[in-house]
Amino acid sequence: MRAIAGFAVVASSALLLSGCSFLPMPVPTPTPTPTASGDGVLRIGDMTPLGGPLAGTAAAQAAGIELAVREINEQGGVLGSPIEVWHRDAGDADPAKTEASFASLLEHNVDVVIAPASAGVMDVLLPLAKKAGVLVVAPANDTTAPATAKTAPIVPDEEFAARLRSSDPNLSELSFGAESYELTTALALSTVFLDDDGAVSLSWALSHIQGPGIACTSFGACISVLRTEPAISYRGPAGEFAYDVATGTVVFGTPVTPTPSGSLKPSPTNSASK
């Protein structure tokens, strides 16, 4: 299955009533899709913060990833293979631990690492990941998010909280469980979207699977849409998200748009734009 993003552009014309002549409308240049570089198996590294200020969220982050992987693999995985996942300590406030954990994940040929909402961890990971050709994504925090963007963890509803606890029955703190689940599902959909698990393809597709397109709220529903339609608008349990290609950070629940430099800024609300 291949849903090639980069939508068809239909040329239109404008009729000038005064002269009854036609002028062509400008046609936007579509963004080129990346060249496939994966091996057909989506491998995810989870770096959970077992120490530091975010240690209390480690179990929920891991549970969200495991829940998504289990549900997707029960439906056949992606590209005909099950998703593989490994968990390591993010080493929040311990750069040496962060580097060691990342090196361990590279031994498993991971395509992408899901990191915690820690600016310190991301500062260490980003140059390492760029050198290794691995994608890193993480929920935004107060340092990396736009000034008015929401960075507090999404509070899951009762139904999704019960699903998280099916992954970890001892789970008490649920912070970042919805975000990690949604990121994992989004990465799986991105793999299908371009028929490739390479890091560049994943990054490109993450910027496209939230629309414009047919709305869907689960992996299975989105896959069904992609069988007949070229585009989807995925919304998971954490709601709308905006992915910053330059920094790997993801803002959940607050509409934001990329600036010309590639960083994120809040989108104007209806009242602000009037």
- What CATH number corresponds to the domain at position 261? 3.40.50.2300
CA–CA separation, 10 vs 110, rounded Å?
39
What is the average pLDDT across 203-212?
91
Q: Mean pLDDT across the chain, nearest whole number?
A: 83
Angle between helices 199-206 and 177-194 (to 10 degrees): 110
- Is residue 110 in a domain? yes
Q: Per-residue pLDDT for 25 more than 90?
A: no
- Is residue 23 in a domain? no
Whether this model's pTM surpasses 0.85: no
- Is residue 216 in a domain? yes
pLDDT digits (tens, 9 = 90+) for 39-51: 899 999 999 999 8
Q: Per-residue pLDDT for 54 more than 60?
A: yes
- Is residue 12 in a domain? no
- Is residue 26 in a domain? no
What is the average pLDDT across 194-216?
93
Burial label for 161, CB within 10 Å (0-12, 13-18, 19+), is: middle
Provide the domain limits for residue 249: 43-273
- Is residue 32 in a domain? no
pLDDT digits (tens, 9 = 90+) for 117-174: 999 999 999 999 999 999 999 999 888 887 778 788 999 999 999 999 999 999 999 9
- Is residue 104 in a domain? yes
Amino acid letter for position 33? T
Q: Per-residue pLDDT for 82 more than 70?
A: yes
CA–CA separation, 67 vs 31, rounded Å?
33
pLDDT confidence of 23, banded at 50, 70, 90?
very low
- Is residue 242 in a domain? yes
Buried b / exposed e across 73-103, counting CB within 10 Å, b at 16+? beeebbbebebbbbbbbbbbbbeebbeebbe
pLDDT of residue 212: 87
Domain count, the chain: 1
Q: Per-residue pLDDT for 10 more than 90?
A: no
